[in-house]
């Protein structure tokens, strides 16, 4: 399914994919995020904080989006001097009989506690369910990450279990709480005959 690059408007945010003009802001965001989210995030290689990396990575992200593998949204404040305040990623997009993606997010520290991520997800979850036609969003967090837990609870993500030694966070394999949100009004994406057949919507399929 081919979708154009998303651009979502909310009361306080412009939510969109990255362009080459964003590279300086992306470098600043990467540096700030690493400094502020050290407890929750991976240790990045030095190259992650360079313009050269982000010039290439903007192209990689767009190619991945075009191929339907992921969508990375960047959250900008609205107004005359937009600030890059956060990101939301829909990664590991799987189709066929799964129709699912992993959800990840982060905000710059000074923009926490204002409801901005809630506002962003209020636009992004409908995009994932109605435009991308995903059936399940999965989001996992460190048990000590209370802000992340509260954010997901607000959207009625359900806790499904605990994944042992799930991600390398700050250099250590750490358990994560696993949650998911299911799309109650899912229908197969156009141009995905396998999903259509699997959903029993194709008359002449073989069992």
Judged by beta carbon, residue 181 or residue 195, the one nearer ligand COA is 181
User: Which tokens go with 41?
Assistant: 């995030």
Judged by beta carbon, residue 6 or residue 115, the one nearer ligand COA is 115
User: Least distance in Å: CB of 137 to ligand COA?
Assistant: 13
User: Which tokens go with 84?
Assistant: 């890059």
User: Least distance in Å: CB of 113 to ligand COA?
Assistant: 4
User: Least distance in Å: CB of 129 to ligand COA?
Assistant: 19
- Site residues for ligand COA per CB under 6 A: 37, 40, 105-107, 112-118, 141, 145, 147-148, 150-151
User: Least distance in Å: CB of 123 to ligand COA?
Assistant: 12
* Whole-number Cα distances in Å, 60 to 11, 69, 131: 30, 11, 22
Judged by beta carbon, residue 106 or residue 180, the one nearer ligand COA is 106
* Whole-number Cα distances in Å, 1 to 7, 71, 192, 193: 17, 13, 7, 11
81: Cβ contacts below 8 Å, ≥ 6 apart: none
- Give the count of beta carbons closer than 10 Å to the beta carbon of residue 57: 17
Helix or strand run (H / E) with residue 92: strand 84-94
Judged by beta carbon, residue 30 or residue 107, the one nearer ligand COA is 107
Would you say 158 and 178 are in contact if contact means Cβ atoms under 8 Å apart?
Answer: no
User: Least distance in Å: CB of 59 to ligand COA?
Assistant: 25
Judged by beta carbon, residue 175 or residue 192, the one nearer ligand COA is 175
Judged by beta carbon, residue 44 or residue 59, the one nearer ligand COA is 44
* Whole-number Cα distances in Å, 116 to 38, 169, 181: 21, 24, 20
Could you tell me which residues are beta bridge partners of residue 176? 163
User: Least distance in Å: CB of 41 to ligand COA?
Assistant: 6
């Amino acid at each position: 399914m081919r979708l154009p690059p998303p651009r979502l408007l909310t009361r306080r945010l412009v939510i969109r994919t990255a362009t080459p003009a964003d590279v300086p802001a992306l470098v600043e965001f990467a540096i700030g995020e690493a400094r502020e989210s050290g407890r929750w995030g991976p240790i990045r290689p030095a190259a992650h904080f360079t313009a050269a990396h982000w010039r290439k990575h903007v192209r990689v992200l767009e190619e991945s989006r075009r191929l339907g593998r992921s969508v990375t949204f960047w959250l900008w404040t609205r107004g005359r001097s937009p600030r890059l305040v956060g990101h939301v990623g829909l990664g590991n997009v799987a189709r066929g009989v799964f129709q699912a993606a992993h959800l990840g997010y982060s905000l710059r520290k000074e923009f926490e506690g204002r409801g901005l991520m809630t506002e962003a997800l209020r636009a992004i979850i409908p995009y994932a369910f109605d435009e991308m036609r995903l059936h399940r969003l999965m989001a996992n967090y460190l048990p000590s990450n209370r802000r992340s837990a509260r954010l997901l609870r607000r959207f009625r993500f359900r806790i499904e279990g605990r994944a042992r030694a799930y991600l390398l966070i700050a250099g250590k394999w750490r358990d994560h709480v696993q949650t998911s949100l299911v799309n109650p009004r899912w229908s197969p994406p156009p141009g995905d005959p396998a999903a259509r057949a699997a959903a029993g919507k194709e008359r002449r399929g073989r069992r």
